[in-house]
Amino acid sequence: MTPFDYHAPKTLRSAMRLVQEFGDDAKVLAGGHSLIPSMKLRLAAPSVVIDLGGVAGLKRVTAGNETITIGALATHYAVESHRLLPSKCSLLPETAAEIGDAQVRNRGTVGGSIAHADPAADWPATMLALDAQFDIAGPDGERAVAASDFFVDLFITDLQPGEVLTGIRIATPPENSGGAYVKMRQSASGFALAGVAAQVTLDDAGNCASVAVGVTGVAPAAYRAHAVEDALVGQGIDAVADAAAHAADGVEEFQEDHHASGDYRAHLARVFTQRALSQAIDRAA
């Protein structure tokens, strides 16, 4: 690790001031489970690190009847162990529990993972499937951006210079909804070779009134599998297999490395989409 100056602001306001002051020289530190490894490898070598760990109020997770909020600094474990989330939106704790291992979940944060936008991270798929809104603080005040507009490319998001992700908002799913996150783990790292989050709401006849599917690990950025969704809306569980066949439609470039080829990842996307949708529908019923 190359040397750096370390700042630990106590308020978001002073954090934002530091971010403006140091600009591109600075990196914002949340749980440190992406940034610190990158710094050890010197993939990142910021001269200033601004640690948000002490900023009051960014760790809260709330689960209301209308809205679920997750502070950007909430750990994966905070979501995994939240008392109300299993009944309000089980997709969230289920995703959290799939990340890394116990020690990593204790420390890594939801916001950090999202802002880092690793192409194999778990949260992007789930945030897409839940139509999450991301709250962002910047030099000109605050703005919100939908998950579907946020993940742009490999490690690239809609976050602009000087902006910081502060929280996540999700509309609490209605009755008759269910979700599931399933993934194929790369066995050493635990990252997703392919991971699929599905969230469905059923109508009175047991057909899908709404379907949302997020896929991670397969393309440079996590994406919504719209072709799957379109094929399944208005249909029941019998249509899942055919719909899931579209899980990699429209992907122009596949992630490809020594762990898995692009073809294999596309295959996994289809298989895991089928599994995620079947489970989600099961749970919604």
Partner 1 sequence: MKIEVTVNGEHQSYDVEPRMLLVHFLREVVGLTGTHVGCETSLCGACSVMLNGDAVKSCTVLAVQADGAEITTIEGLAQNGELHPIQEGFWECHGLQCGFCTPGMIIAAHQLLERNPKPNEADIRRGIEGNLCRCTGYQHIVDAVQYASKKMTR
State the residues that interact with partner 1 by CB under 8 A: 1-6, 8, 29, 32-33, 36-37, 39-40, 49, 51, 53, 77, 81, 100-104, 106-107, 188-189
Among 72, 76, 94, which Cα is nearest to 85's? 94
CA distances from 185 to 24, 47, 194, 195, 264 (A): 34, 34, 8, 8, 13
Nearer to partner 1, 78 or 284 (CB): 78
The CB-of-103 to partner 1 minimum distance in angstroms stands at 5
Of the CA atoms within 13 Å of residue 22, those in its CB half-sphere come to 18
Nearer to partner 1, 4 or 155 (CB): 4
The CB-of-4 to partner 1 minimum distance in angstroms stands at 6
The CB-of-107 to partner 1 minimum distance in angstroms stands at 5
Nearer to partner 1, 53 or 236 (CB): 53
The CB-of-85 to partner 1 minimum distance in angstroms stands at 16
Cβ atoms 273, 215 nearer than 8 A: yes
The CB-of-50 to partner 1 minimum distance in angstroms stands at 11
Cβ atoms 176, 184 nearer than 8 A: no
Other Cβ atoms within 10 Å of 141 Cβ, number: 7
Cβ atoms 173, 89 nearer than 8 A: yes
Nearer to partner 1, 37 or 64 (CB): 37
Cβ atoms 250, 224 nearer than 8 A: no
| DSSP helix/strand/coil, 53 | helix
The CB-of-215 to partner 1 minimum distance in angstroms stands at 25
| DSSP helix/strand/coil, 249 | coil
Nearer to partner 1, 99 or 132 (CB): 99
The CB-of-126 to partner 1 minimum distance in angstroms stands at 20
Nearer to partner 1, 5 or 21 (CB): 5
Cβ atoms 229, 195 nearer than 8 A: no
- Burial-class residue 164 by CB neighbours within 10 Å (0-12, 13-18, 19+): buried
d(CA 190, CA 128): 21
Nearer to partner 1, 73 or 136 (CB): 73
